A and B are shown apart, each in its own frame.
Chain A
Amino acid sequence: MLEIKDLNAWYGESHILHGVDFNVQEGEVVTLLGRNGAGKTTTMKSIMGLVPRREGHVTFKGVETIGMMPNHIAKAGIAICPEERGIFGSLSVTENLMLPPIVAPGGLSVDEIYTLFPNLKERARTAHGTRLSGGEQQMLAIGRILRTGAKMLLLDEPTEGLAPVIVQQIGRTIREIKNRGFTVLLVEQNFRFAATVADRHYVMEHGKIVDMIPNKDLENSMDKLHEYLGV
C-alpha cells in the first residue's frame, strides 16, 4: 500500500534522511523504532510532504507522491496525527474534530468516534481544544483523522507522556481500527507498547532503516533491539 524507496530529506542544510527504504502492506500495523533523532518523525513528515525538501520515491497505492503538495497527498488517502498532536487552541473540541475534510467514504461517524473515546463526547462543548488534558488531546488528534475516510494513518508517538490507562485505550483503538481495515504506520519509543499492536517493526538509525523485525520474532530479538535503542 505504501512503498518507500531511497527517501532523502533535508531541513535547510541538514541532511536528515539518507535513503530510507521500507513498505507497509494494506491492513498492516507497522512501527518505526529508533532512538531520538534517528529520523522517525522526519520520515512521517516526508511521507506527508511536510519537509522543505525531499527526494526519492514515496508510492501510495501505486501512485508516486514525491512531487505532490500535502493537500493532494491527504486527498489521496493518507492522514497524519503529528507528534505534537496539533490541537488548535482557537477551535472548540467539536470544531477540531470536524476540521479535516472528508477525503473518501468509509470513515468513522462522529458517534463511532465517541464510542471509541467516550471522554471526547463529554468534552465536546469545550471552547478551546487546548484546554483538554494531554490524553484527551491525543484522542481528539486520532479521532479527527478517523472521520476523514483516509485508510492510511500515520501516528507519531501517540502514547508519549500519557498515563498507562490511556496508553491501553490507545492500544485498543489501534487494534480496533486495524480490524476495520485501516493501515497504520506508527512511530514509537516504547517497543513494549509497539509489540502489543504491530505486525512488523522497522528499526531506524541515522536516517536509514537498519533492520526489520516481524512481531513474532520480537522476543528472540531483544538483545539486538536493546542495542539499537540503547535501553
Chain B
Amino acid sequence: MIMIFGIPGPLLFGQLLLGLINGAFYAMLSLGLAVIFGMLNIINFAHGALFMMGAFVAWMLLNYVGIGYFPALILAPLIVGAFGIVLEKTIISRLYKLDHLYGLLLTFGLSLVIEGLFRNGYGSSGLPYRIPAALQGAVDLGFMFMPIYRGWVVLAAAVVCLATWAVIEKTTLGATLRAATENAPLVQAFGVNVPRLITLTYGGGIALAAFAGVLAAPIYSVNPNMGTNFINTVFAVVVIGGMGSILGSIVTGFALGVVEGLTKVFYPQASATVVFVVMVIILLTRPRGLFGKAA
C-alpha cells in the first residue's frame, strides 16, 4: 500500500475527495450568497433552507410525479428559483431602504419557517434518494476507487460555478449586473430596469442553491436540517473569500473543503473547527477577505 506522510494513500485520497465534494457545495452556496449580497445588500440567511428545498423538490418530483434525477436537476432549481422570486417580490424587496440587520432577521425567520414546515410534513429523520442508475458504481483510478456519483458532483459543481462566473464576468448582462452592484441608481438612469434585475438575481442565486440541493440529495439523506448543517460553514467561506467576490467564493469554497478533508486525516479533532480557525486568521490579517477589494 502507498503511504504518504505516514498515512495510507487510499485514506488520504478518500478524505481529499470527500473534502472536494463538501467544497463543491460550499462553492455553489457561497457563490449564490455572494451574488445576492452584491446586488441586494442582504445576507441571505434563507439560503440553507432553499438548498434543502431543492433536495425536497427533487424527492417530491420523483415520488409524487415520477420525474427522475436528471430532469429534476433542471426542474427543481426552476421551481425553487420561482419561489425565491415570489419571496423577493412580496417580502424581501420591502427592506432595501432599511438597515442590513432587518434583511438578516427576515431571511433568518424565513429559513426557520421553511424548515419548520418541512419538518412538520416529513419529520426530521431523513428520506432516501437513490443515486440514478447511470451514476452508480465506482471506477478504479489506480490509486483509489472513486464512486462515480461523487466524481459527478465535483464535476457538475465546477462546471456550474465556472458558467456562473463566465456569465457575470464576460457577458453584457454580467457587466450590467456588476455596474448595478456599484451604482444602481445610475444604471437605472441609463434605462435598465434595476428592480427586475435585482429580482432575477435573487432568483438565480436561489436556483443555484437548489441545484446544489438536488446534487446533495443522493449523498446526504433528504431532511429538513440538511441546509443548516452546511450554512454555518458557508458563511465562514463567504467571509474568508471576501464578501461579494465571485471568484473568491468559488476558489475559497473548494479550497476550504479540501482543508477540512485533510484535517480529518491529520488531526481529526480539529476538522469541525478548522474553517473557523482559518476565518479568524483571515479576519485578523486581511479583514476584507482573501479576494475582497479595498473600499
Chain A contacts to B: CB under 8 angstroms: 48-50, 69-71, 73-75, 79-80, 82, 86, 88-91, 95, 98-101, 103, 145, 148
Contacts and interface: CB of A to CB of B under 8 A. Distances in A.
Nearest to A88: B179
Given A70-B185, A86-B183, A88-B179, A98 B172 contact: yes
8 contacts: A48-B189, A50-B185, A50-B189, A71-B190, A74-B188, A79-B190, A98-B172, A101-B191
A49 B190 contact: no
B272 interface: no
Contact of A89 (B182, B191, B193): B182
Contact of A49 (B178, B187, B189): B189
A172 to B, nearest CB: 25
A79 to B, nearest CB: 7
A148 B190 contact: yes
Contacts of A98: 172, 175
Contacts of A90: 178-179, 181-182
A74 B191 CA distance: 5
Nearest to B182: A88
B4 interface: no
Given A86-B183, A88-B182, A90-B182, 17 more contacts: A70-B185, A71-B192, A74-B189, A74-B190, A74-B191, A86-B186, A88-B183, A90-B179, A91-B178, A95-B179, A98-B172, A99-B175, A99-B187, A99-B190, A100-B191, A101-B191, A145-B190
B194 A71 contact: yes
Nearest to A95: B175
A99 B188 contact: no
Contacts of A101: 190-192
A71 B188 contact: yes
Interface in B170-205: 172, 175-176, 178-179, 181-183, 185-194
Nearest to A90: B178
Contacts, number: 57
Contacts of B179: 88, 90-91, 95, 99
Contacts of A91: 175, 178-179
Contacts of B193: 71
B189 A70 contact: yes
Mostly helix, strand, loop or mixed at chain A's interface? loop
Contacts of B178: 88, 90-91
Given A71-B192, A71-B193, A74-B190, A99 B185 contact: no
Nearest to B170: A95
Contacts of A88: 178-179, 182-183
Nearest to B175: A95
Most buried by B among A50, A71, A74: A71
Interface string B127-144: 000000000000000000
B191 A80 contact: no
B189 A103 contact: no
A80 B182 CA distance: 17
A73 B189 CA distance: 7
A95 B178 CA distance: 10
Given A71-B193, A99-B175, A99-B179, A82 B188 contact: no
A114 B270 CA distance: 59
B47 to A, nearest CB: 23
A48 B191 CA distance: 10
A88 B192 CA distance: 15
A88 B190 CA distance: 13
Nearest to B186: A86
A208 to B, nearest CB: 24
Interface centre among B176, B181, B186, by most chain A C-beta atoms within 10 angstroms, is B186
Nearest to A100: B190
Contacts of A103: 191
B194 to A, nearest CB: 7
Contacts of B175: 91, 95, 98-99
A80 B189 contact: yes
Interface in B88-104: none
A49 B194 CA distance: 14
A42 to B, nearest CB: 14
Contacts of A50: 185, 189
Contact of A70 (B172, B176, B181, B188): B188
Contact of B188 (A69, A89, A95, A145): A69
Contacts of B194: 71
Nearest to A51: B185
A231 B179 CA distance: 38
Contact of B176 (A73, A89, A99): A99
Nearest to B181: A90
